[in-house]
Structure 1
Amino acid sequence: MPTEPRVSATSTPATPSLLQLIWLASPALPIGGFSYSEGLEAAIDHGLVHDEHSAAEWLVHQLHLTQSRGDMAVLGQMVTAWQAHDTERLTALSQWVHATRESAELRLQAEQMGRSMLEWLRNQDQIDADTVALCNRLVPTYPLMFALALSRTGAPLEQCLQAYAFGWAENMVQAALKSVPLGQNSGQRILAQLAQHIAPAVAHAMQTTDDTRQAFSPMLAILSAQHETQYSRLFRS
């Protein structure tokens, strides 16, 4: 009769890198990502997004124009810096993240999700006190803390960014389902379109340098700022 394997109290089997990436990409990760629409709700309020086609088009553009050129690019550079224990580089990249949050809501999202991610890492016993102190000195934003989590998986950088992008896509599709609103089948079709664009978006992010990395999406910034005073809303951004 089969018996359960015994796990030593002092030695926990390592979780395969693929499972770690799936875990980090899961909407169930308790960091509050489902609370934010990143300007999508404001776009819906202004009639820019109103059905499945316009929602898919909006999110594909957001993936390529903001995520790939900005957050995914800096995230990949942060993963490399964490693995090299390059504090100076992490400081510079962290400052860039803070400087590119163009509205109070986007700054709140980055900081709230970052602190929640830091707390999750602490609860998982994945980081020591010195790392926690460093994160607090840098002010833990979501890109900084998610990069730290990714750097510990041992997965190739390309797969790390793919996991991040798919997690982002799932959260944004859920936001569209609730606020357009759309049905589950529409959501799956939008997610399928986004999935086709993730690989080229990741490839672009990995080729981005400090000189070509950018955060220029004026319409999204305006919508985010307008969302702060939007009369009726479901999301925090």
Structure 2
Amino acid sequence: MALRTSSPTATRAPLPWRRRQAAAAAARAAPAVAPQSLLQLMWLASPALPIGGFSYSEGLEAAISSGWVQSEADAAHWLVQQLQLTQARGDMAAMAQALPAWHANDRSRLAALNAWVRETRESSELRLQTEQMGRSLIAWLRNQYSEDAARLDAIEWLAAQDASYPLAFSLAAHFSGASARPALLAYSFGWAENMVQAAIKAVPLGQSAGQRILSQLSAAIPAAVDHALALPDAQRQAFSPMLAILSAQHENQYSRLFRS
């Protein structure tokens, strides 16, 4: 199911809708990312970042075992759907709201967003994933900013909240100085690379097939990011029943390569 955006006329559109669309348009029109910020975002999106993202398939391995994903076309369809229906409406939307909260140092807002991410994991292994990757990214941030007292204060505060991965990533993106849209583009591409590598290993697929899937995900990412940027609290959600069922089944799967 592709994301759809309505286009009511200006005279009929409710004010919250117009504000969200204006915010998304402003994000799209933001100035180019400074070179140092761009490099930081590329670093955060890199599979080489030591946070363990390569060890998770987020239910994909269980979908393969259950017969839902058996080919390149199946894997591409599954991952594009996951991007649009779970990432854009959930973790990416939480990150989009966390970034301005970091700028404003609104810690009550940040704590609420972090709690929402942790509380909406639909299986124990998905909860463990966001906790482990959050802790690992916090450790990386401590190492990067060990001599910056102000940044260490924010890092230690988030660590005390049992940082989820989306909130830890939002803090790292905030430190980069990039605006919300480039930060979400980097996050999304890093997620896509990890998931494509999981598909290559578990379906299994060849490298060329993986690149074709990554191309499809790359084409879908900008719209998913814009959707996440426009979502208010009331429309942010983490509701994907089949993914939750598959993840729960994966916890007891006889043979597996991945931790989720």
What TM-score do you get using the length of structure 2 for normalisation?
0.84
Match of 2:44 among 24, 28, 32: 24
% identity of equivalent residues = 64
Alignment-derived partner of residue 155 in structure 2 = 132
Alignment-derived partner of residue 140 in structure 2 = 120
Aligned in 2, Cα 1:203/1:15: closer, same or farther, shift over 3 Å? closer
Match of 2:235 among 198, 205, 212: 212
Alignment-derived partner of residue 11 in structure 1 = none
Match of 1:159 among 164, 175, 182: 182
Give the 3-state SS of the residue equivalent to 1:195 in structure 2: helix
Give the 3-state SS of the residue equivalent to 2:82 in structure 1: helix
Alignment-derived partner of residue 203 in structure 2 = 180
Alignment-derived partner of residue 10 in structure 1 = none
Shifted more, 125-134 versus 137-146: the winner is 125-134
Q: CA deviation at 1:15?
A: 6.9
Alignment-derived partner of residue 6 in structure 1 = none
What is the rounded CA distance, in whole Å, between the counterparts of 1:224 and 1:140 in structure 2?
Answer: 21
Provide, for residues 89-109 of structure 1, a one-character-per-residue CA deviation record: whole Å limited to 9, x for no partner. 001111111110111100000
For 2:132, give the aligned amino acid.
Q
Q: Does 1:52 align with 2:78?
A: no
Q: CA deviation at 1:79?
A: 1.4
Match of 2:222 among 188, 199, 213: 199
Please, what is the CA RMSD of the aligned residues?
1.3
Alignment-derived partner of residue 34 in structure 1 = 54
Q: CA deviation at 1:154?
A: 1.3
After the TM superposition, which residues 69-108 of structure 1 pair with which residues of structure 2 at under 5 Å, given as runs? Answer: 69-108=89-128
What TM-score do you get using the length of structure 1 for normalisation?
0.92
Provide, for residues 134-189 of structure 1, a one-character-per-residue CA deviation record: whole Å limited to 9, x for no partner. 11321111011000000111112111100000000000000000000000000000
Give the 3-state SS of the residue equivalent to 2:235 in structure 1: coil
Alignment-derived partner of residue 223 in structure 1 = 246
Alignment-derived partner of residue 3 in structure 1 = none
Q: CA deviation at 1:35?
A: 0.3
For 2:226, give the aligned amino acid.
A
Alignment-derived partner of residue 234 in structure 1 = 257
What is the rounded CA distance, in whole Å, between the counterparts of 1:144 and 1:156 in structure 2?
Answer: 15
Shifted more, 28-37 versus 151-160: the winner is 151-160
What is the rounded CA distance, in whole Å, between the counterparts of 2:118 and 2:47 in structure 1?
Answer: 24
For 2:181, give the aligned amino acid.
E
Give the 3-state SS of the residue equivalent to 1:181 in structure 2: coil
Provide, for residues 106-142 of structure 1, a one-character-per-residue CA deviation record: whole Å limited to 9, x for no partner. 0000000000000000111166442233113211110
What is the rounded CA distance, in whole Å, between the counterparts of 1:142 and 1:133 in structure 2?
Answer: 15
What is the rounded CA distance, in whole Å, between the counterparts of 2:156 and 2:91 in structure 1?
Answer: 23
What is the rounded CA distance, in whole Å, between the counterparts of 2:39 and 2:242 in structure 1?
Answer: 37
What is the rounded CA distance, in whole Å, between the counterparts of 2:206 and 2:137 in structure 1?
Answer: 30
What is the rounded CA distance, in whole Å, between the counterparts of 1:130 and 1:26 in structure 2?
Answer: 25
Provide, for residues 212-235 of structure 1, a one-character-per-residue CA deviation record: whole Å limited to 9, x for no partner. 101110000010000000000000
Q: Does 1:148 align with 2:171?
A: yes
Equivalent residues of 2:138, 2:159 under 8 A apart: no
Moved over 3 A (4+): 126-129
Provide, for residues 19-51 of structure 1, a one-character-per-residue CA deviation record: whole Å limited to 9, x for no partner. 111111000000000000000000000000001
